[in-house]
Each structure stands twice: as C-alpha cells, then as structure tokens.
C-alpha cells in the first residue's frame, strides 16, 4: 500500500462511526460515553454529574453526538474547541461534563491507536505512583479517631477526617457505610440542618484528638464543604494551625474568588478549592493571586484532559499543585484517567480516592491499583478502564439528588 493510500486508510480508520451514552446504577448512578471508530477502536469517557446525570446524557445525545459522528477522532483539540466555542452558551457543569466525556474518550482512543498507556501520550511519568487520600469519618470525635487509625492501618499516608457535629443530626461527609460515602440519598433533595457555630467550636477539638492519635507523619485533610463565610473560614484555618493540616477544602463558596484573600490574610493553613469548578475562568484569580495552594478541578467536570492540562499549567506558574476531586460519584473511568494524568502532571499534589463499591468495580473493569497509600496505573494502552455494558444493564438508572441545607431559622444554606 503506498503512502497516499496508507494515509487515506488511516484517516478512514480514525472516522468516528458511533457514540452512545450509557446510564447505569451499580450502587449509584454513572453516565458513560462510548465512542467507536471505523477502525474498531473504542474509547470511554465519564459524564457523571451527581444529581444531574440525565441533563448531561441529554446534552450529549441531543446536542453533541449528532455533530460528532463522522469527525476524525485524532482531532482532539479541534473537537474540544468546536463543542466549547460552538455551543455559544459556554461553560457550566452540564456542558463541560459532556465535553469532558468526549475529550476523555478521544484521548483513550488516541492512546490505544498509539499502543501506549495514556500517561506516555501526555509526556511520560513524573512519578512512579500517585499519593492518594482516603475518607475517614465518624459520628463523633472518638469514632472519627478510630476510623482515621483504621485508614492508617490500611496503608493510607493521607487521610481526610469528617465527623458528626454535637447538636446536629447529620453532618456532611459522615457515611452510613464504612467504606463508601454517597450523599445523593433520595429522589427529591433531603433537608439537613446546619449550625456553623457548633461546627467551628467542635472541629479544632476533633483535630487535636485526631493529631494526638495518628502522630505527626500522616497528612490530615478536612472539607469545609462551602459552609463558612470568609471570616468564619479564617477563624477555622487559624484554629487548625497547631494540627498541621495538609489542606482545608472548600472553606467558603468560591463564586467570589476574592473572598479567599480574607482567609489568606489570617491563616497559614493550606487552602484547596475547585471540585465544583468547570473551567479555568472559575479559578483564574484564585491562582494568579495565589489565594489557594491546591486546585481540585477534575477530568470529568472541567472539560476533560484537554482543559485540565491548561488549568494545571496555569497553576504551576504560581506553585499551586493539583489535588483532584475523586469522590465515589466520579466513575472509575474518571479515576483511571485521573491516575494517568496525575502520573504525568509536573505540579501534582494529591489525588482524592474515595473508593467504589464492588458492584461498581465489576461494571467498570479497570487496571489501576492501590498500594501503601498510592495509586499505580498499569501499562495497558489507553486509560485502562472499560464498561461491561451487559452487566451495567442489570443496574438501571435510579433518580437521586443531593441534599440541601438550612440554618435553624430556615434560611437556605450551602450543603
């Protein structure tokens, strides 16, 4: 076959011939995009947006996939620009999760066509394994200390501690299950009561106990989950300084990026934010003004690898490291891709790893593995995760939404 006919056959092979959206619910809902090429190569992308799964599925099925069919799967950048600029209505979690799923599946295909693991295609290893943190949580301080010690026993070198708060029936991050945390707990949003004052008075006492029990080596993290005002967050950050946290996450709602300046002025506790961000514009001022230490944007919610690379590169200019979100409600496809990304990205910080249930792991065969507090990606071409569609069919979509929070006087608050 001469060069021209070779070129046209490889172009033919790269033609996207089909793309389908799978929605399944092995213990929780996941949305997966499967793209196939003329040459028979298949790529997978996570499109899961907790509580809004069908919105992303429809955005893909009704608005993106019709224009995707027939394109050259190798044109990853141009396809990203086409769906971002071409939407006219740019950004937002639904739009960017849909674009992310396409982007991730195309990177998976490109790596498979190049017969290399995804991290190689990105630029090779910057580290052999990826430090992760697990989620210890308890109903009260002593239960949380026990759980932190259990996670240390399991080999975690970094552990997030969340606890019930005295006087409150439920608190963010406290799971009914010992290993998995699923906040989307009902068809319509459940209502949770919140009391910041009780929380602010309790958390320093919690971390004094946890740090005493776990020693100085283990990295400790805490998620404020958007619930404090900037001044309250500054108070908490300051009161946690003696316990040497790795980070305080989502200390205050970040639509107003400037709010973090007030927190920064009062505390040296490292700050992390970004799991609900979906574009570089959500974090540009935070990064350029060095108001944070870790950026938590993810493959699935921030436009895929193509966009996350841009965010990580901007962060690197300001010595800010990545700390991507990795809750149970991001599928194994996102986790597998994230581990390849984390293996490559020069300014890596840490990866959240909130584990998936056995049923989820069976539906999403994968090759990444956990070893003494780190995740290791394998050498399989692509991101190393697939979807067993036959098995997935046994777990139909189960409509669930995230809770809402109210203050004692009924005021709507940040969950």
Specify the residue, 80 or 172, whose C-beta has the smaller distance to ligand CS2.
172
Q: Find the shortest distance in angstroms from Cβ 344 to ligand CS2.
A: 23
Q: Which does 329 bind (CB under 5 to 8 A by kind): Mg ion, ligand CS2, none?
A: ligand CS2
Q: Does 329 bind Mg ion (CB under 5 A)?
A: no
Question: Which residue, 107 or 246, has its beta carbon nearer to Mg ion?
Answer: 246
Taking the complex as a whole, the smallest distance from the CB of residue 350 to ligand CS2 amounts, in Å, to 12
> Which segments of 45-138 does DSSP mark as H helices, in order?
53-58, 65-68, 76-85, 93-113, 118-122
CA end-to-end span of the chain: 61
Least distance (Å) between residue 173 CB and Mg ion? 8
Report the run of H or E that residue 222 belongs to, with start and end.
Answer: strand 219-223
Q: Which is nearer to Mg ion, 71 or 301 (CB)?
A: 301
Among the residue ranges 147-155, 221-229, 302-310, 379-387, the one whose residues contact Mg ion (CB under 5 A): 221-229
Active site residue 133: no
Residue 195, SS3 per DSSP: coil
Say how far apart CA 411 and CA 189 lie, in whole Å. Answer: 16
State yes or no: residue 282 binds Mg ion (CB under 5 A). Answer: no
* Residue number, nearest CB to Mg ion: 223
Q: Is 374 exposed, middle or buried (0-12, 13-18, 19+ CB in 10 A)?
A: buried
| Site pattern 167..206 for Mg ion (x: CB under 5 A) | ----------------------------------------
Please, what is the minimum distance in Å from the beta carbon of residue 109 to ligand CS2?
Answer: 27
Please name the residue that has the structure tokens 């070893």: 371
DSSP-assigned beta bridge partners for residue 93: none
Write out the two tokens for 402. 């995230």
- The residue from 84, 133, 151, 172 that is catalytic is 172
Catalytic residue among 222, 225, 366, 374: 225
Residues in binding contact with Mg ion, number by CB under 5 A: 1
Q: Residue 114 Cβ, how far from ligand CS2 at the closest point, in Å?
A: 32
Residue closer to Mg ion, measured from CB, 103 or 223: 223
Residue 264 Cβ, how far from ligand CS2 at the closest point, in Å?
21
Q: Residue 85 or residue 178: which is nearer to ligand CS2 going by CB?
A: 178
Least distance from Mg ion to the Cβ atom of residue 224, Å:
8
What are the C-alpha distances in Å from 133 to residues 136, 249, 286, 378? 9, 13, 23, 20
Q: In angstroms, what CA-CA distances link 391 with 155, 386, 394?
A: 31, 12, 6
Nearer to Mg ion, 121 or 233 (CB): 233
Q: Please choose which of ligand CS2, Mg ion, none residue 56 contacts, taking the beta carbon within 5 to 8 angstroms, the exact cut-off set by kind.
A: none
163 closest CA partner among 150, 146, 186: 146
What is the Cα–Cα distance from 33 to 346, expressed in whole angstroms? 28
Sketch the per residue contact string, 53 through 72, with Mg ion: x for CB under 5 A, - otherwise. --------------------
Dihedral (Cα; 191, 196, 198, 204), 10-degree rounding:
120
Please give the helix or strand (H or E) that residue 265 lies within, else none. Answer: helix 259-266
Residue 103 binding target from ligand CS2, Mg ion, none, CB below 5 to 8 Å by type:
none
Q: Is 223 in the site for Mg ion (CB under 5 A)?
A: yes
Q: Which stretch binds Mg ion (CB under 5 A): 55-63, 156-164, 215-223, 336-344?
A: 215-223
- Closer to Mg ion at the Cβ: 46 or 223? 223
Q: Of 182 and 223, which has the nearer Cβ to Mg ion?
A: 223
- Going by C-alpha positions, the residue among 291, 368, 286 that lies closest to residue 326 is 368
Determine how β-strand 369-371 pairs with β-strand 374-376: antiparallel
User: What minimum distance in Å lies between the beta carbon of 135 and Mg ion?
Assistant: 10
Q: Yes or no: say if 272 and 219 are a contact pair by the CB < 8 Å rule.
A: no
Residue 334 Cα to chain centre, angstroms: 8
Residues that bind ligand CS2 (CB under 6 A): 50, 183, 223, 225, 275, 325, 327, 329, 352, 354, 402
Annotated catalytic, 199? no
SS3 56: helix
Q: How far is CA 96 from CA 276, 280, 338, 364, in A?
A: 11, 11, 16, 22
Active site residues: 172, 225
> What residues line the site for Mg ion (CB under 5 A)?
223
């Amino acid at each position: 076959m001469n060069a021209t006919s070779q070129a046209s056959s490889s172009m033919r092979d790269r033609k996207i011939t089909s793309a389908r959206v799978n929605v399944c619910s092995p213990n929780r809902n996941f949305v997966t995009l499967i793209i196939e090429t003329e040459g028979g190569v298949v790529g997978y992308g996570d499109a899961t947006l907790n509580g809004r799964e069908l919105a992303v599925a429809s955005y893909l099925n009704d608005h993106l996939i019709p224009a995707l069919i027939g394109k050259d799967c190798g044109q990853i950048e141009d396809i990203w620009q086409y769906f971002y600029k071409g939407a006219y209505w740019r950004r937002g979690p639904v739009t960017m999760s849909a674009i992310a799923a396409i982007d991730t599946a195309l990177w998976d295909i490109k790596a498979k066509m190049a017969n290399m693991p995804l991290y190689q295609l990105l630029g090779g290893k910057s580290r052999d394994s990826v430090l992760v943190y697990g989620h210890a949580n308890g109903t009260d301080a002593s239960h949380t200390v026990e759980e932190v010690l259990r996670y240390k026993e399991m080999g975690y070198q970094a552990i997030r501690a969340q606890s019930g708060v005295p006087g409150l029936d439920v608190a963010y991050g406290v799971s009914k299950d010992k290993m998995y945390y699923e906040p989307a707990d009902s068809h319509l949003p459940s209502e949770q009561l919140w009391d910041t004052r009780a929380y602010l008075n309790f958390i320093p006492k919690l971390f004094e106990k946890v740090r005493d029990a776990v020693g100085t080596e283990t990295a400790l993290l805490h998620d404020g989950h958007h619930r404090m005002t900037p001044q309250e967050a500054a108070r908490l950050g300051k009161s946690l300084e003696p316990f040497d946290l790795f980070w305080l996450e989502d200390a205050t709602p970040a639509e107003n990026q400037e709010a973090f300046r007030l927190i920064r002025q009062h505390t040296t506790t490292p700050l992390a934010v970004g799991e609900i961000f979906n574009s570089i514009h959500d974090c540009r001022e935070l990064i350029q003004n060095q108001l944070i230490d870790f950026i938590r944007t993810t493959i699935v919610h921030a436009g895929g690898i193509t966009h996350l690379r841009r965010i990580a590169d901007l962060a690197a200019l300001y010595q800010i490291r990545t700390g991507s979100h990795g809750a149970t409600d991001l599928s194994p496809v996102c986790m597998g891709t994230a581990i390849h990304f984390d293996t490559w990205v020069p300014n890596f910080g840490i990866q959240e790893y909130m584990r998936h249930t056995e049923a989820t792991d069976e539906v999403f065969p994968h090759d990444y593995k956990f070893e003494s507090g780190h995740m290791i990606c394998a050498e399989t071409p692509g991101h190393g995760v697939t979807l067993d569609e036959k098995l997935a069919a046994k777990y139909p979509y189960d409509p669930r939404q995230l809770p809402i929070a109210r203050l004692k006087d009924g005021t709507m608050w940040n969950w």
